[in-house]
Amino acid sequence: IDSMGYAFTLLVLKYLGICHVASYVHYPAISTDMLSVVRERNPRFNNADYISNNLFLSAVKFVYYYLLELLYGLAGSCSDVVIVNSSWTLNHILTLWRATKRTCLVYPPSDTHAFLQLPLDEDSDRKCHSIASIGQFRPEKDHRLQIRRESMRLVLIGGCRNQEDEDRELKRELGEATVGLHTMWNEHFGIGVVECMATGTVILAHRSGGPRLDIVVPYEGGQTGFLAEDEDGYADAIERILALSPSARLEIRRHARLSVTRFSDQECEACFLATMEPLIWTLAR
């Protein structure tokens, strides 16, 4: 089972007849979005300005991506079972690997038990509202977008010292925050978004990828958070969140917390085993 993204090893193992192969895909090595960015010459974290501004370099990069897409699709199609971690990844893998009948969606496990223990009360007594952002400090997380317009207290949370310190500080900061902020374009899933919702912050995530398709979606008829795309959209959404009454915010937070049970360790384990069972029975015969 390849869970590291080494798709080209599947091609070797399959055609040498060594074994049956399965894949758990977190993020496709190449995606149609990546080709679109290069074709349209849009500057991004993975498409530098000097490339997007140069027609020749953009053409060379597009051909390279196109060939990589063909090879990636060939390698991935060798997998007997394909498991993907989000609807966003599912759509891309179905396009690239063309293995519709062998592909299943299994959300990654999000251990939110500690976050769910935090009290969920109205925040009417808060003197100062703050925003918390969880995510590794990498270009694709787009932290620059988070600091352009806001005059509120913004807490950026990356990695810190050791796991005990990280867990303790993360719980404290999220417990004190009113808004959980996420700005990455096309996040394949978004465990940080799930953690914010489990803690009880009102999540404001990017309108793309896993947050839009799987996480910040209505649950049992109730709203679970907000989505935005650019700095004006984020500013407007934050203004709307803070303008809500404490009881209205509490209702959204409750629905959000209930919704994260879909991403529990137990749910992931059950879905993963159910997906792999047919292949295991085939090997047992």
Q: Model confidence over 269-282: pLDDT tens digits?
A: 999 999 998 888 87
Higher pLDDT, 240 or 143: 240
Residues counted in the chain: 285
Contact 76, 46 (CB under 8 A): no
pLDDT digits (tens, 9 = 90+) for 99-142: 899 999 999 998 888 888 888 887 766 667 888 887 766 666 66
**Residues linked to residue 83 through DSSP beta bridges, in sequence order:** 24, 104
pLDDT over 60 at 194, yes or no: yes
17 or 234, which is more confident? 234
Pairwise CA distance, residues 67 & 50, whole Å: 22
For residue 219, is pLDDT > 90? yes
- Six-digit token string for 177: 């925050």
pLDDT for residue 140: 64
Instruction: Name which residue leads in pLDDT, 103 or 11.
Output: 103
Q: Say what the pTM is.
A: 0.84
pLDDT digits (tens, 9 = 90+) for 23-39: 999 989 888 888 999 99
In order of 86, 126, 128, 154, 169, the CA distances from 177 in angstroms are: 27, 10, 9, 9, 12
Q: What is the pLDDT of residue 208?
A: 95
Which tens digit of pLDDT belongs to each residue from 75-91?
999 899 999 999 999 99
Distance CA 178, CA 18 (A): 53
| Residues facing residue 205 across a β-bridge | 227
Share of residues in the chain with pLDDT > 70 (%): 87
Nearest-10 crossing angle of helices 55-76, 32-39: 170
Return the percentage of the chain with pLDDT > 90, whole number.
52
Q: What are the structural domains, with CATH classification, of the chain?
A: 7-108+265-284 (no CATH), 113-262 (3.40.50.2000)
In whole angstroms, what is the distance from residue 148 CA to residue 103 CA?
Answer: 40
**pLDDT for the residue 16:** 78
The pLDDT of residue 31? 86
pLDDT band at residue 159, thresholds of 50, 70 and 90? low
* Residue appearing with tokens 């807490």: 155
Cα separation, 186 vs 37, in Å, equals: 12
pLDDT of residue 254 exceeding 60, the answer is yes
